Structures are given as structure tokens and as C-alpha cells.
Structure 1
Amino acid sequence: MTIPAGEAPVARQALLEVIGATVRLGNTQVFENLSLTVGEGEFVALLGSSGCGKTTLLRTIAGFVQPRSGALRVRGRDITAEPPDRRGMALVFQTYALWPHMTVAQNIGYGLKLRRLPRAEIAAKVKEIAALLGLAGLEERKPAALSGGQRQRVALGRALAVSPDILLLDEPLSNLDARIRLTVRQEISALQRRLGITAIHVTHDREEAMVMADRIVILNAGKIAQIGTPEEVYNQPASAFVAAFMGAENKIRLSAGAAGEGGTRLEGEGVMPAVIATRRAVPPGPCIAHFRAEAAELHAGAVAAGPTRGFLALPGEIAQVSFPGGFWRHVVTTSAGPLVVDEPKAWPAGTKVNVHIPETGLFVFADEPG
């Protein structure tokens, strides 16, 4: 038996298509034959660790990097060879890239000035954007007199002023402190939905992607590891890499076999044999089980005799205890390696325990080489 997957998301009309794009920077091939579709009015997060290719993909979409092969289309129009200013996009940089000698109003209206719009029209648009972003009254200040959150809003306002088809965000929140970052991410997400604009957001922050995006594109070494809604990539990871990246960093190497009635039998060194229902079919042979720290439980007493059903169990000893806030974090030494388990109460270091992982918290995959 396998645990059923959730419903498929509602399809949107395609706005942007990246078709079989290949990009090399010097002698490094960043990605090859990569394809991606972004729907009208959709907020898509490109999520991955440093060096995975997410920023290069964003810059390729923006027109600052030219693919060696493949094509990019917006509403069916081929923009592969178009310069950045002809693509109908606006990019908010990680460093904001504001003109230090210009006021807030001048920075917001800069793109409109380049388009040679009348002064009155620029002034009206700047006033509208400033009010929308909570910058009213700050129009005559220069960037040096603004907070980090205010500078971020000015950079966003400059991008929105030109009414782009697609808003591109290159880790614009990474320079903000944690408290302000939480507020600004909510503001950007609400603004995107209110205006109905299409946005592509690069981030390495899992929580940021989960909170802001309609769909998440997880990149690994220049390849798309998975595309899905926040709920899908969190609860239905397509690979061991995605499971670990989405927080299921604990792992146990096991051997899988059929157990009858659609169940899977899992065995491993120091692990009590178990019969569980997996989220996806697992072929017989070596496998790897991932789980999150909050999914496991600590129990006292001896490990249950015979195969367990519905959960995986293995003995261990509490090695470290810490309090990150709201729960107690335990590092448990086991024959399968150190495991991290979060509990509402603290277990003293040195205590002999049994780690129980319910089948609903397990992500089991075939253990492939590499």
C-alpha cells in the first residue's frame, strides 16, 4: 500500500516558456536542456543552494546571459535574442542597485524617464507607487537616509513603475535582518497577488519560498530536481535530495522487501524490522529513509519484539540537548548514525531511548549510487 498523493494544482495559461536552454559560463556548464513554464499571474520561486544555477537561470530569462541553445518565449513571442529592455521584464537586484545621488522619487521614476514619458505622468506614477509601497512622505529622501526595508521597497517600486509583464526578484530579502525580512516577504507576496503580476523569485531560503510562491522549482547542480506547490515539494518529495533539502535531513540506510498486502518490509543494522506503507513504490534492495526531526518520537524501555507495523524503531542514546525555542532538540547516537529528534520535553544526556518514526513521517527512496 502507498500513501495517496494530493490533488494536482489548477493549470494557468503559459506566459513564459524556457525551452531546452543550455548555458555555459566560461568552461562551466551551468545547466543543459532545461525547460520551464511559468503561468500568467503566477509566483514561482527558484529554490536551491549556492551554485545550483538559479541566479544564472534568472539572468538568462532577464536577457543578461545568452543561452548556447534553446529558446525563451513570452506569450508565444521568441525573445531569445532580445536585449533586456525589450523583454517586458523588470529585475530587482540583491543589492537593490539604487542611485545614491537620486531621491526616492527619482529612483522610482528612473525607468519612466528613460522611456521619455511626460514629467506630469512620471510624477503621478511615482506618487501612486510610493503610496502603494508605504513610501509616501519619503519621496525627497536619498537611499542613505532610508532603512534596509525602505530601500528594498524603493527598488521594488522602480521595477513596478514600468508595468513589467514579469517581475524578476534576485534574492532581494537576503540583506535584511530576520525581523524585517518576515514583514517584507509578506508585503511582496500580498502585493503580487493584489496586482496579479507574474513573478519569479530566486532564493536559497526554504521557508521564504514556501510562504511566497504558488510553485517552487528546486534546482540541484543545474537540473530541476522537482517542480510543485509548496505542499507537494514538502509532503511529496521526488527524491532523497529534495526530501533532505525540504527539511527531512535525518537519514537511515535500509534494505526494502515486499511484505504482502502492498506493504514494504524495511530492515537495517540496529533497526527493528518494520512493515510500513510507503508514499511511493520502493523496489526491493538498498534504500534510504529520510525524516524530519519533528516527525520522530522518543520512547523509554526496550525495543518492541518482532517486526513493528506502521513505524520504524531503533535504539539510541541522547548525546546532546538544546532549546532552540518552542521545543527541545536532541541529538541521538544510534547504530545508523546520529539522528536529530525534536520533543516538547527535554530528555537528559546519556539516557537510553528508542527512536520511533511513524510511516507518515518517512520518505523512502531507492539508494542510488552517488
Structure 2
Amino acid sequence: RDPQKPPVVTGGAGYCGYKLGCALASTGASVVLCDIHKPLWVIPNGVVWIQTDIRDYSAVVAVCEGADCVFHVASYGMSGTEQLRKDLIESVNINGTRFIINACKEQNIARLVYTSTVNVVFGGLPIEDADEESLPYFPNDKLVDHYSRTKQIAEQMVLAANGSTLAGGGTLHTCVLRPPGIYGPEEQRHLPRLIIERRLLSFKFGDPSVQMNWLHVDNFVQAHILAAAALTPERNYIASGQVYFIHDGEKSNLFEWLTPLVRAKLISKYINFCMQLQLLCACHILYVCFRCESSTWNSLKGARAQLGYRPQKFNFADSVDHYMNSRPQPSNYQIFLNILVSLSITLILFFLSLSVFMSQ
């Protein structure tokens, strides 16, 4: 790696992109984080944030100038109301990825590491100890959400770009990483949505033997740094054109894994009965619609053998404790608003759940 050419991290304002950028900077590299929003956290020495809309090709080309590697972490539409905005999902995940690939070619950037998702191969059918070579893509038109469909298309674009000729005559080397759900001390997507009162998950549904993988953000960072190194001549470009599953190296039952959240001490007036009923209905919909009895866990053989990936062991409870101690406490107005929203969503979910159940 040329120390004079800083790596670029797209989605640098997000939790994973920010953590990756900080880790790269800690090795002495100068790092460029690009995102449409500024990171929530302090930007350390060696890291520069450049406001960039990934849907703007000229902005993408400009931010990539002088880089030696791009970590394309940015995406849109994974959860929440974002999932309803199909046009934006496509413009970020598909067109944005196309712009990144073209910018690498135009700016003579020889390495591109793409953050994909296990969703590109999972559509509800059981997956147990699968590797990258034996597990095909799930049919795109049968994937359950637009995010997964666009991520699959983008992943294929990145792999197809491997071996492309750069403007200066070099060769573009690309690889893809497929993480599952990501957690960590300051993670703002999974933890807040999984906060539940200890009574809520005193029940279980589905097969208790169902297993799945999770990924701590530090292991996410490790895998990305190793992947970039494996796209260099020093490593004989071993990762060039390859796909790797990455996770913590363990599998667990979802509800057992969430036990620390169930036991966490929460504000009872904030997490109220309405929210409990809302979550119960949501769980029922997940069960009857998406068949949560299907295990999905994958092999790390490829990442271990080719990247040298060695996931560290982490305790999910530590992340829960950090979140519970650092999260802002809700105001009375927020509590009141939450009650109103919870009541509305509860009614919608209840009738949707009932209709789905009756149609089975």
C-alpha cells in the first residue's frame, strides 16, 4: 500500500464505515470518509470527512482522486421506513456502486472491497455450514425485500468489474464480503430496535435449534483490512474476484443470543404494554411470513484460508451494557409520542398478523 494514497471509505458516517476508517487511521494511514451526512462521533487525527452524495458521479470521482483503495460500505434501505423507498434504494445501492466502479477505473484505483450481505443468498430456506462456492444466489425476483435484491445486483457488478483495465493501464482487483447482522458498543441500528422488557421474551416460538450468525464490528473491520491486503501483489491478489462470508465464527439461537437485552433494566413507562403487543405481532408476522424456523449459518473456510481471518470472541452483553449506560433518556414528550405511535402500529400489525394467519 502506498502511504501517500489514502484509502476511501464510502458510508463513512455510518457505524461500520466510521469504525473501519478509525482502524485504518490507527495504523498511520490517512483516511477519507465520504458520506452525505457527517459522522455522529469525533473524527480522529488522520481521518478526513468529505460530504459526498454517492448518487453524484462527479462528486464520487472527486473524492476518489489520489486513493489507492476504496472500501464501498455505503448502502440504503436495510430496515425501517427506508425499505419503502425503492427508487432511492436503487439509486444508492445499484447506481452508486456503478459510480464507484467507474471512478476506480477513471482514477486508477486498483483495489475495491465491497460490503455486501448474506441476504443475497438467503431467501428463507435453511442454510447450514455453506461455503461461497457451493451456495448459489437466491433467485433475485424471490428475495423478500428490495434492499436484498439491489445488494445482489451490486455484488454481481463488483465481481464482474474484477480484472477491468484502469485508465492508466493497470488492473482493477475487487472482492466481496458478506456480513450478517452487525453489533457493537455504539451500534445504532440493531440495539435500539431490540430493546424489550424482560417479560416480553419469556416465551419462545419456532424451533429452538434454529441457528444464525452475528458479527461484531471489530471483526467486520478486521475482515475488510485483510481483504484489502489480499488484493495486493504481495499477497498474489489471492482475493481478486472472490466472495467471503464473515462472522464471529459462532452460531446461536436468536432468542438465546438476545437474552442480555431481555434482562436489561429498562424504563417501564417507556417500553410499555403497547410496544410489547406491537413486538409480539411483529414476531408473529416474521414467523408465519418468513418462516423463522430456517437456520442460516455459513462457513468461514474461505476467509480463514485466503484472508487469514481470525475472528475475536465478544460478549453481546457488553454491547448491551454500553448502550444502556450511554443512551439518552426519553423526555415526557417522547414517551407520550411513543404511546400514540405504538397504539397505531399495534392495531395495524395485529390485523395484518391476523389476516396472514387466517390465510395459512
Please report the TM-score for the alignment, with normalisation by the length of structure 2: 0.27
Larger proportion of helix: 2
Larger proportion of strand: 1
